[in-house]
Chain A
Amino acid sequence: MNNIIEVSNLVKTFETGRGFLAKNKKIIQAVDDISFTIPKGESLGLVGQSGCGKTTTARALCLLDPKTSGSIKFYNNETKIMDNLDELKDEELKSFRRNTQMIFQDPYESLNPRWTIKDIILEPLNIHNLGTLSDRLEAVVEILKTVGLTPPENYLPRYPHELSGGQRQRVSIARALIMNPKFVICDEPTSMLDVSIRISIMDLMLDLAKELNVSYLYITHDLAVARYMCNRIAVMFNGKIVEIAKTEELLSNPTHPYTKRLISSIPVPDPSYTRVEYEVDFTELDQIIKSNNKNLPMVDIGDEHFVATHDVKDLLI
C-alpha cells in the first residue's frame, strides 16, 4: 500500500437555527463529497478561499470534529493495511493519534500561555506515556535542536510570550513532530509570520519531511506557497474539490474555470509581467456546480490530473 491516507466521499454539514423549535433551519454543506489520497512521504496542498471547507476537512481528518458521512482510511504501520477510522479500537486509535498531528496558523494562540516550552513539547509524550522521564526530556532537547531553537536549555524554561512569532511556530512544529508522526496537517502555518521568516519555516518543514518521511496536508489560500511546499495541489470551491493535479501540471495547465480564475488573480512580484485575465461569475458557477448530479466522478485528463465535471462545457475554454 502506497498511501498514508485515503479520503472517500467525505461530507460535513452544519445546521443553522437554534434549539428544537427554530424556524429557519438551514443545512450548510461545508464539505460536499470530496475524495483524495496522499501517498506516503508526499505532500498535498489544499488550496481555496475562506469558507471553501479546507479547515473543516482538516478537522475531520484528525477526528477533531466528527464527519457527517464518508470514509477516511489511514495506513496502519503494524498490520500494513489501511484502517477505516470509524472502526478503530483503543490501541489502534492511540496509534493513529501518535501518527497524526496538526500545526496551526496562529503562533500566538497555539501554545498554552501558562506552560513552559518544555511542558508544551513534553505533552504528547506524557499523554502517550512513552519512555521514562529522562528519555522524554532527551527527546525534547533533540527536537528543539532539530527545529533550530538552540541552545535548547535557553528555551526550555521560557514561556510563549517571551518568544517571537517565528520561534513560537518552531515550537509548534517541535510539538507536532516529537512523536515522529507520519501525517501532519498544516493549517496555513506561515500566513501570520513576517515575510522574511516564512521561508525559513517552510524550508524547515520541507527538510523534516524528507528526513522523517512525513506526509503533509498543507492548507493555504496562497497558491505560490502551495507550489513551494507540495507535490500535488487540490483546489477547493464551496466544499468541493474542483481540480487536483501535480503542482507544476496544475499551474501550467489549469482546466477548471475556478482554478483559472484563482491563478489569474494572484499578483506576481515582477513589474513587467502582465497577468492573463480570466473572469468568471462565482454565483453562476456555484449554482451550476450544485445543480449537478453529485455522483459524477472527476474526469481524468491525463497524467493524474483530475477535474470536476459539470455542465460548464461552455465555460471550459
Chain B
Amino acid sequence: MKTILEVDNLNMHYETLEGNVVAVKNVSFTVAKGESFGLVGESGCGKSSVAAALLQLQAENAVITNGSILVNDTELVGMSEKSLRKIRWNTISIVFQGAMNSWNPVIKIGEQIREAIREHFPENSKSENLNKIYELFDIVGLQHTTIDRYPHELSGGMKQRAMIALALSCNPDMVIADEPTTALDVVIQDQILKEIKKIQKLLGLSLIYISHDIAVIAEMTDNMAVMYAGHIIEKGPTKLLFNNPQHSYTKLLLESTPSIVGSKIKLRALEGEPPSLINITDKCAFSPRCPEPSKDCKDGIISMKLIEKDQDHWVDQCCVNCG
C-alpha cells in the first residue's frame, strides 16, 4: 500500500499576546492511498490546526517548531510558497469547515472552479475545462446549470457539493474534509456522506475526515486518531478503537454520545473544562479530568507518548499503564 501522507512528530504553536498557545504537539500518523483516515476531537484539540498545516495554510502567527510532513515523499515544511502552490489542490485539497461561506458571492460558481483549474492546467482549452466541470458536477450530484449560478442561489447542501467539486477539480491524491457537514441538516448530511464515500471509491482518493462527531467517523473511516489538547492520545483501525477503546478519553467520548440504536443507557458525563494550551508541560494533559487516574499519572511522572498496544493500535502510555 503506497503511503500518500506521512506526518512525523509535528509540533506547532500560535504566538499570542498571552504567550505561546501549543496547538499541535508530537502528532504523527500516516495515510495510505485509497485510505480514509479520521481525526476526531472536540473544539480546541488541534485538529483544524493539523489540517491547515497539511496544506501549509496555517495562520500568520503559527510557528511549526519541528516535525515533517511528507506528501508523496516530498517534504512540505519549509517549502517555498511557489512550490507549495503547485502541490496545493493538485496533490492535496481541502473542504473547509463552514465551506458554504467560502464562495465569493459576486462570481459565478463555474468561474470560481475554472479559476482553480486554470491555475494548475493553464494549457487546457475552454471546452476541456467545461467538460471537466460537468464531469465533477455529475460526480457530486449537481445539475450542469449550476455552473452559471451565483452562490446565493444555491441551498446549503448544494453549496457544499460544489465545494467538494472544487476540491476534486485538479485530480488530487488526497482530500481533507474538515467538518464538511456541520451546519447541514441530518438528511442532507447523509446524502453528502454517501457522495463522499462513492467518490472515494470511484477515484481511489485518500480522505482525511476531521470531525467532533464520532458517529460520522465510525461510518466514514478505516483508521482514526483521537486528539486531545494538541496530542494524539489514541490511534488505530476504526473498528478496533470502537470495540476496544483503551484511553480514558476515548472511552468517555464513546460513552457520552447518545445513539438511537441499542438500548437506552445512562451516558457518562465528562467533568471539568479543556485545559489551557499555553505553556503546556510533558505530563498527561487529560489527567485532571480522568475519572480513574493512576497515581503516577496524577503526580505528573508519566509524560505523554504513544506506544503500540496491539497491532497498529497505539495508545498514550499513561492510559496503557492505568488499566
Q: Which residues of chain A have a CB within 8 Å of any CB of chain B?
A: 49-50, 164, 166, 194-200, 203, 221-225, 227-228, 248, 251, 261-273, 282
Residue pair A49, B187 in contact (C-beta under 8 Å)? yes
Instruction: Known A194-B212, A198-B256, A270-B242; judge A228-B219 contact (CB<8 A).
Output: no
Name which residue of chain B comes closest to A51, CB basis: B185
Please tell me if the beta carbons of A265 and B268 are within 8 angstroms of each other in the complex: no
Which single residue of chain B is at the shortest CB-CB distance from A264?
B190
B101 within 8 A of A: no
Residues of A within 8 A of B189 (CB): 265, 267
Contacts of B271 in A (CB 8 A): 200
Interface contact B268-A271, CB-CB below 8 Å: no
Q: Are A269 and B267 in contact (CB under 8 A)?
A: no
Partner of A271, one of B185, B242, B259: B242
Extra contacts besides A224-B257, A269-B215 (14): CB < 8 Å = A194-B212, A195-B42, A195-B213, A195-B256, A199-B258, A199-B268, A221-B185, A224-B259, A265-B190, A267-B189, A267-B218, A267-B219, A268-B215, A268-B259
Q: Which residues of A contact B274 (CB under 8 A)?
A: 194
Given A268-B219, A270-B261, A262–B186 Cβ distance below 8 Å? yes
- Collect the chain B residues with CB atoms within 8 Å of residue A263's CB: 260
Q: A262 contacts which of B187, B193, B216, B267 (Cβ < 8 Å)?
A: B187
Q: Cα distance A225–B268 when bound, in Å?
A: 14
Nearest Cβ on chain B to A42's Cβ, whole angstroms: 16
In the assembled complex, the Cα of A193 lies from the Cα of B122 at a distance in Å of 45
**29 A-B pairs, CB-CB below 8 angstroms?**
A195-B253, A195-B256, A195-B257, A196-B252, A196-B270, A197-B269, A197-B270, A198-B256, A199-B267, A199-B268, A203-B269, A223-B260, A224-B260, A225-B258, A227-B258, A228-B258, A262-B186, A264-B190, A265-B186, A265-B190, A266-B190, A267-B193, A268-B260, A269-B242, A269-B259, A270-B259, A271-B219, A271-B242, A273-B218
Expressed in whole angstroms, the minimum distance between the Cβ of A85 and any Cβ of chain B is 31
Q: How far is the CB of A254 from chain B (nearest CB, A)?
A: 10
How many residues on B have C-beta within 8 angstroms of the other chain's C-beta atoms? 36
Name the interface residues of B56-114: CB closer than 8 Å to any CB of A: none
Q: Is the CB of B269 within 8 A of A199?
A: yes
B260 and A227 contact, CB distance less than 8 A: yes
B142 / chain A contacts, CB cutoff of 8 Å: none
How many A-B pairs have beta carbons closer than 8 Å: the answer is 104
* Contact A195 B273, beta carbon cutoff 8 Å: no
B42, A196: Cβ atoms under 8 Å?
Answer: yes
State the CA gap A216–B163 with chains docked (Å).
Answer: 39
Residues in A neighbouring B191, C-beta threshold 8 A: 265
Is A224 in contact with B187, judged by CB distance below 8 angstroms?
no
- Asked if B49 is at the interface (CB within 8 A of a chain A CB), the reply is no
By a CB distance below 8 angstroms, the chain B residues around A267 are 189-190, 193, 213, 215-216, 218-219
Given contacts A49-B186, A262-B186, are A269 and B214 in contact (CB under 8 A)? yes
Measured between beta carbons, the chain A residues less than 8 angstroms from B218 are: 267-271, 273
B190 in contact with A272 (CB, 8 Å): no
Q: Give the residue of B187, B239, B258 whose beta carbon is less than 8 angstroms from that of A265.
A: B187
